[in-house]
Amino acid sequence: MKMMFSRLLVLLVPLLLLSSQSLADVSIEAVFSKGEIDIITTWYQDHRATSERTNGRKKPKGLPPGIDKNLARGKPLPPGIAKQVLPQQLIAMLPPPPHGFDRIIVDGKVLLVDAATRVIHDILADVILH
């Protein structure tokens, strides 16, 4: 009985180690769905006047080129970057984001970011019209 148990253990331990390693290597691929892109694009087209209002302020300058280049898939959000939430009306129209992800606006771009790591998973660049 001990011999059978030790053989079984010798066979199972490498399998467990391999499966735990492969699980650790799996990254979650979260992107905006076609439906989400359509809803967001349509909402900003319909609310163009609202999104263009500056309330007497100058038009935003945008991000410095070095920081703007860091807004890319697979990179974390730069620290201290100004971010906004989507308008409440738009949030109500969209399905919930994938578990553990947030949709935010940075420099006129809609981003899908991992809430824990702040890594950018998808970007909608030309949706918000300035």
Indicate the domain borders of the chain: 30-124
- CATH topology for 30-124 is Nuclear Transport Factor 2; Chain: A, (3.10.450)
pLDDT in tens, 30-86: 899 999 999 999 999 998 755 544 444 545 567 777 777 778 888 999 888 888 999
pLDDT at 10 over 60: no
Tell me how far apart the alpha carbons of residues 21 and 17 are, in angstroms, rounded to a whole number: 6
- DSSP 3-state assignment of 122? strand
> Do the beta carbons of residue 93 and residue 39 sit within 8 Å?
yes
HSE-up of residue 79 (Cα within 13 Å, Cβ side)? 0
Tell me how far apart the alpha carbons of residues 94 and 23 are, in angstroms, rounded to a whole number: 30
Query: Per DSSP, what are the bridge partners of residue 84?
Result: 105
- DSSP 3-state assignment of 114? strand
HSE-up of residue 93 (Cα within 13 Å, Cβ side)? 15
| pTM (2 d.p.) | 0.68
Cite the beta strand spans of 18-128 per DSSP E: 84-85, 101-106, 109-114, 120-124
pLDDT in tens, 86-110: 999 999 999 999 999 999 999 889 9
